[in-house]
Structure 1
Amino acid sequence: MSRAFFLKCLVLPGLVLLSGLLICQPARSAETWPGQAGQPLEQRYRGDIKKLHLGIQSHLDKLQKSGKREFSLLGELEHINTKLNLQKIKLNVMEENLRTQAQQLAEKDQDLARAAKEKEKARLHLEKRLRAFYLVGETGFLNVAFSAKKLPELLLFNNAFRRMLEYDHEIIIRYRKAIVQLQRAREAQALEKTVLENFIVRTVQERKTLADLRGAKKQLLALVRTRKGLYEQALREMQKAEANLTRSLTRLKIRQKNKAKGFILNKGRMLPPVTGRLVVRFGAAQGEKSDKGNTAQGITIATEDGAPVRAIFSGKVIFTGYKLGYGNMVIIDHGLQYVSVTARMEKITVKDGQSVEQGEVIGTTGDIATLFAKGLYFEIRHNLKPLNPLKWFSKKGISEIETGAPPGKVGKNAMQLL
């Protein structure tokens, strides 16, 4: 397996994770209304942050393992370097010994050559003496009879010549012994040189093996450091992505909170759901009894049939359907526990879970929907507590007119919602 392939296999998962998270980032224009409607976007942010958290933890573990492996390799390299230094010292000593052995062998060779030369000279000299002695011969009757010298002189010469021959012979024997000793010493030194050369060869091989091992360890250390660098780079990218996602999530929460607060901040500025005539006020008595339990918890607006019913503010539809006593009903969550309830509609045009904007049509009025109770019914609640909707509407959209409405419904005056 090549190093490049290994590095691709190493980096690819981190790149896929980061690219996947970047692809999953939603565009701002596609963001849904905050609060309940924005939860899917927030959940995606949280899911991406969780994935990055896991990836960061995984890379931290890998960094820790890489650090331990790097430390172990550095220790091994230090041990190998120590052995290499010792081998180098040992090799230098053996090479010095080898040079000494070679020098000593050369000296022995010179000694052998000199001894052989001296031996040859002694042998030639002895041959000359022997030849002369042979020519002179032993001292006998004839030598004494025909010699000009006297017998004592002849005997003295003969004895002296013999001693010279014996001396030369002893010299040759000593040279032979010296040559034998020199040859033995040379052979011993040659053997030591051979052994030393074998040691040097093995040491060189060991040193080469250690050098190769050091090279392999260095390559592995470089690979580990490269992996560590890639882990660190991926970790930095993940931490950066996590920080960006966290900032985006924080901005989203702030935007959600500010937008949710917009419902409160727009109190007294909103338009009513329909244009029509106010026929029942908030808190007005219902039926013949006027106790607190039978007071109106919302308002009723009389309007023409087929009129569009609009959302008073942006939010998320949390209920659509028929409700006994209310008819067709739509409940919209505006955030911060504020909801609006619109009932007695002829037709509903939105669905559960749908996000709506301020002024968006959510249904229409009709005569069948108001068969048992006239007008469109509307409530605003906070934490299930009913609030007076008229306080949330703009004064520009409401004007008072005199009317002959039935008693108990409107009271003295009526209000026309423009």
Structure 2
Amino acid sequence: MTPSAKVCILAILIFCSVAFLLPPPNAHAASGDSDQQKNEIEKGIKQTTINIGRLKEGIKHQEEQIRETKKVELTLLTEMQDIDSRLTEQNYKIETLESRMNKQQELVFEKKAAMNEAASLMEGVQSHVTRRMQAFYKLGEFGLIHIGFSDQTLPELLSFQDSFLAMIKYDHSLIDTYRTTISELGQAIDSLRLQEDIFEELLVENLEEQEKLDGLKQEKERLLDRIRTQAKLHEKAAAEMEAAAEKLTARLQGLKEQEKRIDQGFLYNKGAHPPPVAGTI
């Protein structure tokens, strides 16, 4: 290479170096744009950070609401379990009372049947007694005429009269027994009916209590459905906030990268720029 060529190349390199070191004609304008861009990025970083903080607070609030709804749900489930136990107890009481009332009614029916039978038997005995008494009165007392014209001897006539009177006495005793039996059966029926009335009152009270418990259970079930719906809404809101926070976090990272690029300027991509002039020295 000739000396003149070397001088030309050296001059070109010096010129390029000086040109590179000197600021361009619009350096002040470029610097102003960078400052404005940096301010915008800083504002974006600040606002994004605030928004992320708000989202985190919102997520925290939603998680607290979820925990509260879970507590309420657990309380409601415990209360409903208690109501179910009370309903089971009420059902047992009602079934027991209904069974006792059925037995009472059966006993009343049996007592009535026995009383009707005793009354029927007593009527039969009374009918026999009436016929015997009528025959006795028609026969009249034994006098000389009866003794004289009778085919039977006096002892036989007297024995017949004693037997007849004994039979009537027995019939009266039997009637008294039937009357006593009917009276006792009537008292037993009255007692059974009184007990039946008591059972019926208890049954009505237990049915009313059962109805109240059923209504309370339905109310708790509606409240439980509402609480579970609220829990799902809180979970959905928390998930949406988490997704939004992730997006904002990614955006914040991008803004910080831009800020770093502006702060470091040319040095940020050191080694990545092409050489200003190709050639060898």
TM-score range for the pair, normalised by the shorter chain length = 0.7 to 0.9
Indicate whether 1:96 and 2:73 are aligned: no
Aligned residues: 242
Alignment partners' CA distance in 1, 2:88 and 2:182: 43
Correspondences of 1:112-191 after superposition (within 5 Å): 112-191=115-194
CA contact (8 A) 1:268 1:395 kept: no
Instruction: Identify the range of structure 1 (73-82 vs 134-143) with the bigger mean alpha-carbon deviation.
Output: 134-143
CA contact (8 A) 2:41 2:258 kept: no
User: 198, 202, 211: which one pairs with 1:199?
Assistant: 202
- The 1:224–1:94 alpha-carbon spacing in structure 2 relative to 1, beyond 3 Å, is same
Corresponding residue for residue 235 of structure 2? 232
Residue segments in structure 1 that go unaligned for 5+ positions in a row = 1-31, 271-393, 397-418
Secondary structure of the corresponding residue to residue 148 of structure 1: coil
* CA positional deviation for 1:395: 6.3
- The 1:259–1:114 alpha-carbon spacing in structure 2 relative to 1, beyond 3 Å, is same
Correspondences of 1:315-334 after superposition (within 5 Å): none
- The 1:201–1:269 alpha-carbon spacing in structure 2 relative to 1, beyond 3 Å, is closer
* CA positional deviation for 1:112: 1.1
* CA positional deviation for 1:115: 0.9
Residue segments in structure 2 that go unaligned for 5+ positions in a row = 1-34
Secondary structure of the corresponding residue to residue 139 of structure 1: coil
- The 1:262–1:134 alpha-carbon spacing in structure 2 relative to 1, beyond 3 Å, is same
Indicate whether 1:220 and 2:223 are aligned: yes
* CA positional deviation for 1:135: 0.9
- Structure in which a larger fraction of residues adopt strand: 1
CA contact (8 A) 1:56 1:239 kept: yes
* CA positional deviation for 1:143: 2.1
- The 1:231–1:395 alpha-carbon spacing in structure 2 relative to 1, beyond 3 Å, is closer
Alignment partners' CA distance in 1, 2:216 and 2:202: 21
Corresponding residue for residue 62 of structure 1? 65
Corresponding residue for residue 44 of structure 1? 47
Secondary structure of the corresponding residue to residue 64 of structure 1: helix
- The 1:134–1:261 alpha-carbon spacing in structure 2 relative to 1, beyond 3 Å, is same
CA contact (8 A) 1:45 1:245 kept: yes
Letter in 1 for 2:73: E
* CA positional deviation for 1:148: 2.7
CA contact (8 A) 1:98 1:193 kept: yes
% identical aligned pairs: 31
Secondary structure of the corresponding residue to residue 152 of structure 2: coil
CA contact (8 A) 1:87 1:203 kept: yes
CA contact (8 A) 2:42 2:259 kept: no
Secondary structure of the corresponding residue to residue 151 of structure 2: coil
CA contact (8 A) 2:261 2:268 kept: no
Secondary structure of the corresponding residue to residue 38 of structure 1: helix
Q: Considering only aligned residues, what root-mean-square deviation do their CA atoms show, in Å?
A: 2.3
Secondary structure of the corresponding residue to residue 62 of structure 2: helix
- The 1:148–1:104 alpha-carbon spacing in structure 2 relative to 1, beyond 3 Å, is same
Secondary structure of the corresponding residue to residue 138 of structure 1: coil
Alignment partners' CA distance in 2, 1:215 and 1:265: 69
CA contact (8 A) 2:122 2:179 kept: yes
CA contact (8 A) 1:34 1:255 kept: no
Corresponding residue for residue 368 of structure 1? none
When the two structures are superposed, what TM-score results if normalisation uses the length of structure 1? Answer: 0.55
Q: Which has the higher contact order (CA 8 A, sep 6+)?
A: 2
Alignment partners' CA distance in 1, 2:180 and 2:213: 49
Alignment partners' CA distance in 2, 1:34 and 1:126: 133
- Structure in which a larger fraction of residues adopt helix: 2
- The 1:77–1:266 alpha-carbon spacing in structure 2 relative to 1, beyond 3 Å, is closer
Instruction: Identify the range of structure 1 (113-122 vs 49-58) with the bigger mean alpha-carbon deviation.
Output: 49-58
